Structure formats: structure tokens, C-alpha cells
Amino acid sequence: MTDRPLIRGVGLTKVYGHLVALRDANLTVMPGEARGLIGSNGAGKSTLIKILTGAVAPTRGAVEIAGEAAPLGDPKEMIRRGVACIYQHANLAPAMSVLDNIFLGRQPTLGFGFVDRARQRREAVALIERHGVDLDLDAPVGSLPTVKQKEVEIMKALALDARVILMDEPTGWLAASEVAKLHATIRTLKSQGVGVVYISHVLDEVFAVCDTLTIMRDGRTVAESRVADIDRPHVVHLMVGEKLARESEAAGREKRRPRGSGEIRLSARNLTKRGVFKDVSFDLYAGEVFCITGLIGSKRTELVRTLFGSDRFDSGALEVDGRPASFAAPAHAIARGIGFVPEDRRREGLMLEMTMTENLAMATLDRFRRGLLMSQRGMSEAGRRVISSLSIQPPDGTKPVNLLSGGNQQKVLVGKWLVRAPHILILDEPTVGVDVGAKAEIYAILRRERDSGAAVLVVSSDLEEVMTLADRIAVMVSGRLVAVHDADAIGIDDLVREIGMAAA
């Protein structure tokens, strides 16, 4: 293609404190091109996207739009110049009509603040006709299926004359048939000369809809290629990194212990929650790491929540240490030796304003009771022990946790359960937003717990993590546990295929 690129980011670098989120990353999108952007979690994809939308200003580097240097860190200006972003979670007003959503915040007016509804409708009709999309303009957005909501977002972007549309995990919440519909819409966009950046960790989708792809790892754009010129194992290797792939595979293989000591800690039989997950059965053994992987939206989080009692299942049976269990609240699960690290540490895990020591004591307050009062000394000693054994930085228990880095916050969250020495430790996406070094440390902590006889259940979408950590791997697709493998018996390529194919 000889056209000028629609958007070009050159040498983009972003440094947060001492964490380098992005180094020298480059990304180019030509008119009518769909570019896949792939990489494991923490590879820098979202930072790169945030720079292109203007949400974040890079520390170094430049962004050009249609050959002109664009101002950095200015979201309004980026929208004006035709860069739109569709996020994983819908960004729409569900109670309002499709029409109102398309023009949300910038309705054509008749003056005195009255909306020019006739003009609004005329423009919207022209827009959906031009792009061959079938949308009922008067339907409330909340009543539409998810894929239609994505279309509304795309129309909203196009109404702003978007030339480049960035899509962040656009199929995370979609059923397989809807994915195909979305891909058809993307092809239409391409034929209109719109550029698309398609961020996904589902390789099948990238291979199905993209022309070119950019692979990121550790904040760098490590490779660019036409999709036709590259094969899947090569892509996986580039994503994971040659060295890490070999190392983690070797390290993992050496110590893998499917079914651990052979003693069943938790046993689930036909667990069902209506409309969420169905007939899930598995056994979790002492001394193993059991990973449940799958796409975002495959209901893994919902499943583990019912194991911990923060949600209820409708039918099925759960046994913990051979005794039936039905937990009405987390307190009951904790009393039976279960610990749970939720996915969203800021919203569900930590008391951000409170100190590290207090956060670490939060699941064990009963142990520090001395008569009516708390033993401050007991609390800070327990805190100190965890801080040093997990080498949390800075090693000062009086610091509020919101001053810590993501990785150290995550260690606090895991550490709070270690104070209790749980029999079963459940972790939901334990290394999201954590840098590579802290990731390795968290893996080491989990292995240590496993080796001391705990049963560790990890929910993770990060295949690299699953391959590194797991003794056994379960795959969940749309609320069903479709397969359980010994980790030695399956390679990452097969796993990708299983997750991807089941969805297609």
C-alpha cells in the first residue's frame, strides 16, 4: 500500500516511577488495514492504546496522524482527529436509545439547548446505511445483545468521523456466533478505508480477521508481520519470549506434580448456577497447582466465587476435606481453611487507605484478640514476618497499601491468607497488572504453598502463566469445564487451539 499511514506511533516509551511500561514501541495502521495487537498481560498493549487515544502522554516518542504530528496526552484532540477506542466493557448509557447513544454528549442542537432530533435521526440513518449495519435506532441499548451494543459503539465512533478504531478485547463478552458478526462488521469498515487495531489474546480471531499483526512483549513491539507470512507456534514463541518459554517450560516440567500428594482437598460434582455455569465437576488435590483457563467471560470467576461462599450455586455438591460443604458466606469457607484472592485487588481485595499490617491482619483479626483489645504487637509481628518472607517492598508495615506498586499490593493480598496457612488457596488472575519480576516472585510463593501441602487453585487467562505454574490445567468454555489435562501432557499451542476452537 502506498497510502500515508492513518496513524503512526514512533519510539513510544512510558515510564511509571521505576516501572517501564513501554519501551520504544512502534505501531502503524494503514487505511483499510486491520492490525492485530497481541501480547501477554502486562506486555504494554493497554499503555500503547492509552497513548494513541491520548489518555496517557508518553515519556518519549511521537504520534503522527495522517502524516502530521499529533498533540500527546490530549484525548479530545485525538477524537477530533479521528481516533476512537472501543473498550472491553461497554461504554454506553443502557437506558437510552441507540440514537441517543450514538450522539451522546454532542447532539446537534437548535439553539437554547434543544436537541435537533430530526437532523440527528437523518444523520444516523445515513450512517448505518453507509456501513450496512442493521440497528433499530429507537431500541434502548440495554435491551440489545452484546454484539449489537458493540455495533452501537462502532457507529458512535464513526459518527465522529473516526478513521482509526482501536478495539480492546472486543470479543471478550461475545458468544461464538456473535464473534463472526463482529468480524463481518470489521470487514465492512476495512472496505470503507477505516483502519482497525484489534487487540486480543485469542489467536484464532486475530488470524481470522487481521491483515497484519504486531506482537508485544515486556513493553516492546518485538515483531511485525503480515498474518499470511507467519505461523502460530512462531507467534506464541514471540509473545512469550524464547528464553522465558524454554526456561519456564523446563522449570515447570521438572517440578510438575499432577494430583499432588493424592489427597483430595476439594471435590466439586455437577456444580450448576442457572444461566452462568453448568455441570462443573473436578477434584482439587493437596500439593498441586490447578489452573482453570479460558476466555474472559467463560464464567471462571463466577465458579470460584461459589467455592468460596461469596456466591451460591443452585445445584450440585461440594466437598471440602471429605465433608460436604455449602457456604453461605466467605466466613464459613475461611473457617474450613479456604483463602481467596479476588481478581480486582483495588475494588475487592485491599483497604487502600489502611496500612500494610492492617491489610495483612484483615483475615485473621480473631487471632490477635487479647481479651477485648487487639494485640498491636502480635499484629505487627505477624505483618513483619509476611513482609520479609514475601520480600514486600518497602518493608515497612505502617505504609498505606495505596503507596505500593501493583506487584507488592498483590503480594499483600496473597500474604494476608498465608498468615492463616490455608488448606486451599483460590486465586483469580493473581498477576494482572503486575510486572515480570513480581510475577516470578508470586509464582515462587504459590509453589512454596503447594510444596508445603496446600491445594492451589488459580484462575488465569494468561496462557504463559498457566503453562509456567500449573500441575494440571482445566479449560472452561461458556460456563462448562470442557477438559482437564495434566500440564505435561499438553503444549501451549494445543491449549490455545482448545480454548479457541471451542469458542468458534
Partner 1 sequence: MSAGGLVTPSHTKGRIAANALPIAILAIVVVFSAAEPAFLSPDNLIGIVRQVVLVGIMATCTTFVIMTGGVDLSVGPVLASAGLVSFYALDSGAPLALVILAGLSVGALVGLVNGAAVAFLELPPIIVTLAMLSIVRGSALMLGGPEQHLIRDQPQYSFIGAGNLFGLPFPIYIFALVAIALILVQRRTPLGLLVAAIGDNERAAYLSGHRTRQTKTLVYAISGFGAALAGIIQSSQVHTALATYGPFGTELDAIAAVVLGGTSIMGAWAPSRARCSGCSSLGSSTTG
Q: Per CB under 8 A, does 418 bind partner 1? A: no
Cis amide linkage into residue 394, ω under 30° from 0: yes
Q: Per CB under 8 A, does 365 bind partner 1? A: yes
Which residue in the set 37, 197, 334, 476 belongs to the binding site for partner 1 (CB under 8 A)?
Answer: 334
Q: Per CB under 8 A, does 347 bind partner 1? A: yes
Please give the grid coordinates belonging to residue 96: 437510552
Number of separate helices (H) and strands (E) present in the chain: 17, 22
Strands of the 19-29 sheet, one edge to the other: 19-29, 7-16, 60-65, 68-69
Distance in angstroms (rounded) separating the CA atoms of residues 314 and 142: 26
Q: Per CB under 8 A, does 434 bind partner 1? A: no
Count of residues in contact with partner 1, rule CB under 8 A: 36
Secondary structure class of 301 (helix, strand, coil): helix
Q: Per CB under 8 A, does 362 bind partner 1? A: yes
Which residue in the set 68, 129, 229, 366 belongs to the binding site for partner 1 (CB under 8 A)?
Answer: 366
For the bound state, the minimum distance from the C-beta of residue 374 to partner 1, rounded and expressed in Å, comes to 6
Residue linked to cell 453461605: 328
Binding mask 378-397 for partner 1 (x = CB under 8 A): ---------------xx-x-
For the bound state, the minimum distance from the C-beta of residue 304 to partner 1, rounded and expressed in Å, comes to 12
Q: Per CB under 8 A, does 363 bind partner 1? A: yes
Which residue in the set 109, 281, 376, 388 belongs to the binding site for partner 1 (CB under 8 A)?
Answer: 376
Q: Per CB under 8 A, does 354 bind partner 1? A: yes
Distance in angstroms (rounded) separating the CA atoms of residues 205 and 232: 12
Per-residue 3-state assignment (H helix, E strand, C coil) for 397-414: CCCEHHHCCHHHHHHHHH
For the bound state, the minimum distance from the C-beta of residue 431 to partner 1, rounded and expressed in Å, comes to 19
Give me the helix-helix angle, 242-255 and 232-240, nearest 10°.
90
Q: For 236, list phi and psi in degrees, rounded to 5.
A: -60, -45
Q: Per CB under 8 A, does 301 bind partner 1? A: no
Nearer to partner 1, 392 or 467 (CB): 392
Burial of 440 (0-12, 13-18, 19+ CB in 10 A): middle
Which helix H or strand E contains 473, and what residues bound it?
Answer: strand 472-477
Q: Per CB under 8 A, does 430 bind partner 1? A: no
Nearer to partner 1, 425 or 466 (CB): 425
Nearer to partner 1, 1 or 372 (CB): 372
For the bound state, the minimum distance from the C-beta of residue 430 to partner 1, rounded and expressed in Å, comes to 15
- Kindly list the residues in this chain that would bind partner 1 in the complex (CB under 8 A): 308, 310, 329-331, 333-335, 340, 342, 347-354, 358, 361-363, 365-366, 368-369, 372-374, 376, 393-394, 396, 399, 403, 416
